[in-house]
Amino acid sequence: YIDGHEHVHMLPGILRCVIDLAKEHGIKYIRIPLERSSYLLEGAYAVDIFRHAVLKPLAATALKEVKKAGLFSNSHFLGHIHSGRINENVLALMLGRMEEGVNEIAFHPAVFTKGLLGCTPRQADSARELKTLLESGWRKRAEELGIRPVTHKEASS
């Protein structure tokens, strides 16, 4: 699959290149970070609202272009608004709001050293995201809701 750091692949000129490269190299799936505005009500910061307002129209246009090119993408996207702050409660909220289709959740799980955190302070909660993925009961909750985790390969077939 293809995506871009900070979703830069949603910019129109870059998106055209990404689509062309995907077709040239047999890559069938491009991430479209089109997150529902209703998630802004759940603990969003001002910067999240700004990023969402800029990204949403770009992602909506990109979704049409990717489909027109005969490529696949996620049907729904979660995690951009809560980037770096996904804990068990936020994940439970996301699971409860998933819709029919391929729902992609963006996580940034990691273990950071003190020195690395100085370079990337926005990702200070990445260890918590890793712990949420590894230790919380999200898999059981997903199963109860009829949600089946898949890989990008499965999503594009």
Condensed to tens digits (0 to 9), the pLDDT of residues 26-81 reads 999 999 999 988 877 677 788 888 989 999 999 999 999 999 999 999 989 998 88
Helix axes 12-24, 46-68, angle to 10 degrees: 40
Contacts of 103 (CB under 8 A, 6+ apart): 74, 75, 76, 77, 78, 147
Condensed to tens digits (0 to 9), the pLDDT of residues 4-18 reads 988 999 999 999 999
d(C-alpha 2, C-alpha 35), whole Å:
18
Condensed to tens digits (0 to 9), the pLDDT of residues 105-143 reads 988 887 767 666 666 655 667 788 888 888 878 889 999
d(C-alpha 35, C-alpha 56), whole Å:
7
